[in-house]
Copies of this chain bind each other. A is one copy, B any other.
Amino acid sequence: MPLMMTADEVMTVLNRVFGQVDGQFAIEELGEMQITVRLKVGEQHLRPGGTVSGPSIFGLADVAIYMIVMAMIGPKVLAVTTSSSMDFMRKPDGQKDLIATCKLLKLGRSLAVGDVLIFSEGGQDPVARASMTYSIPPER
């Protein structure tokens, strides 16, 4: 199943649709059913103890599955996350960017399921993992 969009096209849609995240995310790598996304960690993502906040980590996982689904099926800006489970395993270093790799395990007509592993840049051990289920509007 070939990609329907390039990384540049995906980023353009993301930044147009979600104006408020403009500049926070970058695609490091994009392939069939898999994407690697960087969160450029800034002041607004931190929480006490010099670490990255839970909502920022959640947002990265959420954006990663949004972008790989879009790259695979074309822009569907109304598609939404319907469920997620996350484990927060280690405190990310607030001085480093976060790198998330999302693999699609299923891309069905109405549901996509992706697994996400998140690392602090250069780290060996994941700081978090997520599973995201994504609903694809029927007009596909």
Contacts and interface: CB of A to CB of B under 8 A. Distances in A.
A133 to B, nearest CB: 6
Contact of A133 (B17, B55, B62, B83): B83
Nearest to A59: B55
Interface in A51-105: 53-56, 58-59, 62, 77-78, 80-91, 105
B82 A111 contact: yes
Nearest to A112: B89
Given A18-B48, A20-B44, A106-B125, A86 B87 contact: no
Contact of A131 (B62, B129, B133): B129
26 contacts: A17-B48, A18-B48, A20-B44, A20-B46, A48-B77, A54-B62, A54-B81, A55-B58, A58-B59, A58-B84, A80-B91, A82-B88, A83-B86, A83-B87, A85-B86, A85-B131, A87-B131, A87-B133, A105-B117, A105-B126, A105-B129, A106-B125, A106-B126, A115-B129, A129-B131, A131-B131
Interface of A: 17-18, 20, 44, 46-49, 53-56, 58-59, 62, 77-78, 80-91, 105-106, 110-111, 113, 115, 117, 125-126, 129, 131, 133
